[in-house]
Amino acid sequence: MATTFEQVRAALIAEEPDYRRAAELGVEALPHLKSMVEGGEPMLAAKAAYLAGLIDDERSVDVLLAAAAHPDPTVRVAAASSTRNLPPSAAEVVRETLDADDDPGVRAMSATAAGLDAAEIWRSAEPEAVPPEPAPEPPPTDGRMPGERDSADVPEGLMPGESEAVRHEVRAEGLMPGERPAD
Amino acid sequence: MTWLGWESLGGSFTDDPAVAAWGAGRLDVFVRGTDNALWHKWFQNGWSGWESLGGVLTSDPAVAAWSAGRLDVFARGTDNALWHKWFDNGWSGWESLGGVLTSSPDVSSWGAGRVDVFARGADNALWHKWFDNGWSGWESLGGVLTSGPAAASWGVNRIDTFVRGTDNALWHKWWALVPTVRVHTKILTNPNVAVNTVVQRMREVYATVGVEVQHASTENLALPALNDLDVGDCVRGRTTAQQDQLFANRNNAGPDDVVVYFVRSTVPPFNGCAAHPAGRPGAAVAAGATQWTFGHEVGHVLGLNHVNDNNRLMTGNGTANITNPPPDLVASERDTMVASPFTQDL
């Protein structure tokens, strides 16, 4: 039975596709993978590009070349990473494009897949140091209720309106104001 | 056991009394007197007389006793602020705790050194201030109150508050520990679906099984060499050198907090990968992932496995295929999540 686009898509749409199992779809998957690479879903295109490299067929190169020309760098990174799964001569064809990519991540992945050290690519891609922006002003103090202002200037340990004189007014010991001693 | 008769304890006041007991055989009663001062009467082997503690109150007092020999009394002053006076080997003066109160305060304490005070604010919301090694600021707990609050605490980290609503019904709000996943986000590349959106999606799904999601911090990481992250086979317990290097970046994260790294892509291409080094719980999520991938990958970190059901968050068929959003978590998955050390009672 022919492999359908939906079967290939179902194998790749998972969060974490099982690429080894998906590769068992075989060469019949390759036209669908090419369609996916040329379609409008970069995540699916990246997965399709990677899977193409795992299918042992010369037509895989066509899929990876399409991925290597994709406007989304994540698809080109996927193509670069998948070149390690290609025969050396086929990998070389795809890397020719990727090694000249504007994106250092793509170039670094291509170099890594070829067994080279990508450190120099990253060193040359480092931006010049930019002085840090000044720290933003701290936000206004939180933790106040609506309408709250600084507390009024009242003597330490007294409530507003309370005066030492009132506080120390002599009252009948043990009785509240207005209260009369029990008969 | 039965109720005994009424006894008059004298005094002259018009508002409600407040009472606290710091131990067996001890009662401390507080009222606002007709002079608007705070008055105090206590029982210990017999009733004391009334003692004035001064102040000019515009509300009933509230009192809590967090241990033997300790009393904390609160009332509103003529400036509508919250005022505090406490007994600890003698009475303190009055201390203003600020705020603009439109009701009497109430107070609860769940243990020594902890006091929680509640009052209605000028916006009719419930406001909260607490003491725990120092006073907090005021925190709004929302609501539209038509009464002052009542508060009680039955144990550590539990407070129940009650108020009257605009429908004259009783409304209840409580503080309790809940299973919570604390997530930190580290951004190497901004994802296509915004970070706040994916966190919110995760929060909505996790809330259906009573697990809170706290977005504890976010940080940009300039690590271009890790932006297309080698995740190998993405198998639990097995990590690459790049994953080890990236997951070492755990600024602000506690040992049981989950850190999610937003990268441009993974190699090979996955929506995300939850494989993480031991002791560094976390996951990587690719920029092109779906709105559900974030919660899905954290689900793996909490111990969840794939299922063959496109109505569920942990579908192994791709969260892009979720047919009935928001996706489900089931009871057995909740048990696994809550049992995870990375779900914390907060």
Residues recorded for chain A: 183
B93 interfacial to chain A (CB closer than 8 Å)? yes
Opening angle at CA B200, ends B195 and B204, nearest 5 = 155
What's the pLDDT band for B275 if we cut at 50, 70, 90? very high
Does residue B185 register a pLDDT over 60?
Answer: yes
Interchain contact, B98 vs A145, CB within 8 Å: yes
| Predicted pLDDT of residue A25 | 96
CA B86, CA B61: separation in Å to the nearest integer? Answer: 12
Residue holding tokens 């639990």? Answer: B236
| Predicted pLDDT of residue A141 | 46
- Are residues A64 and A98 in contact, defined by beta-carbon separation less than 8 angstroms? no
Token pair, residue B36, equals 């608007």
How close B311 gets to chain A, by Cα (Å)? 14
Which has the closest alpha carbon to B190: B280, B289, B326? Answer: B289
| Predicted pLDDT of residue B340 | 98
Contacts of A101 (CB under 8 A, 6+ apart): A73, A76, A107, A110
CA A34, CA A51: separation in Å to the nearest integer? Answer: 11
Contacts of B8 (CB under 8 A, 6+ apart): none
Contacts of B262 (CB under 8 A, 6+ apart): B185, B186, B187, B188, B189, B190, B191, B195, B284, B285, B287
| Predicted pLDDT of residue A17 | 97
For B323-337, the pLDDT digits (tens) are 899 999 999 999 999
Q: Which amino acid is present at A31? A: P
What's the pLDDT band for A127 if we cut at 50, 70, 90? confident
What percent of chain A is modeled with pLDDT above 90? 64
Token pair, residue B86, equals 């406490």
Query: Which of B41, B79, B95 would you mutate first to test chain A, the one with the most A CBs within 10 A?
Result: B79
Query: Which among A77, A178, A179 is the nearest to B228, CB-wise?
Result: A77
What's the pLDDT band for A170 if we cut at 50, 70, 90? very low
Summarize the confidence of residues A170-179 as an average pLDDT: 60
CA A58, CA A75: separation in Å to the nearest integer? Answer: 20
Query: Which among A108, A109, A152 is the nearest to B79, CB-wise?
Result: A152
How close B318 gets to chain A, by Cα (Å)? 4
For B226-252, the pLDDT digits (tens) are 999 999 999 999 999 999 999 999 999
Does residue A135 register a pLDDT over 80?
Answer: no
| Predicted pLDDT of residue A171 | 47
Summarize the confidence of residues A6-21 as an average pLDDT: 96
CA B92, CA A60: separation in Å to the nearest integer? Answer: 83
Q: What is the mean pLDDT of chain B?
A: 97
What is the set of domains in chain B, with CATH numbers?
18-176 (2.120.10.70), 179-345 (3.40.390.10)
Does residue A46 register a pLDDT over 60?
Answer: yes
Which has the closest alpha carbon to B247: B279, B269, B203, B199? Answer: B279
How close A164 gets to chain B, by Cα (Å)? 9
What percent of chain B is modeled with pLDDT above 70? 100
| Predicted pLDDT of residue A124 | 87
Which phi and psi angles does A112 have, rounded to 5°?
Answer: -60, -40
Does residue A180 register a pLDDT over 90?
Answer: no
CA B346, CA A144: separation in Å to the nearest integer? Answer: 25
Q: Is the pTM of this model over 0.90?
A: no
Q: Which of residues 63-82 of B touch A (CB under 8 A)?
A: 77-79, 81
| Predicted pLDDT of residue B177 | 94
Residues of A in contact with B12 (CB under 8 A): 176-179
Torsion of CA B73, B77, B81, B86, to 10 degrees: -20
Does residue A178 register a pLDDT over 70?
Answer: no
Residues of A in contact with B224 (CB under 8 A): 104-105, 122, 125
Give the Cβ contact number of residue A168 at 10 Å.
Answer: 10
Task: Quote ipTM for the complex.
Answer: 0.74
Query: Which among B12, B121, B321 is the nearest to A145, CB-wise?
Result: B121
| Predicted pLDDT of residue A169 | 47
Residues of B in contact with A152 (CB under 8 A): 79
CA B242, CA B229: separation in Å to the nearest integer? Answer: 7
Residues of B in contact with A81 (CB under 8 A): 228, 267-268
CA B300, CA B278: separation in Å to the nearest integer? Answer: 14
CA B280, CA B254: separation in Å to the nearest integer? Answer: 10
| Predicted pLDDT of residue A43 | 97
Token pair, residue A1, equals 């039975």
What's the pLDDT band for A137 if we cut at 50, 70, 90? low
Residues of A in contact with B320 (CB under 8 A): 13
Residues of A in contact with B100 (CB under 8 A): 145-148
CA B268, CA B17: separation in Å to the nearest integer? Answer: 70
| Predicted pLDDT of residue A167 | 45
- Lowest mean pLDDT of A96-105, A155-164, B228-237, B320-329, name the range: A155-164
Residues of A in contact with B34 (CB under 8 A): 176-178
Residue holding tokens 């899929």? Answer: A63
What percent of chain B is modeled with pLDDT above 90? 97
Cα dihedral sign for B200, B201, B204, B207?
Answer: negative
- Are residues B285 and B262 in contact, defined by beta-carbon separation less than 8 angstroms? yes
Residue, of A144 and B96, whose pLDDT is higher: B96
| Predicted pLDDT of residue B14 | 81
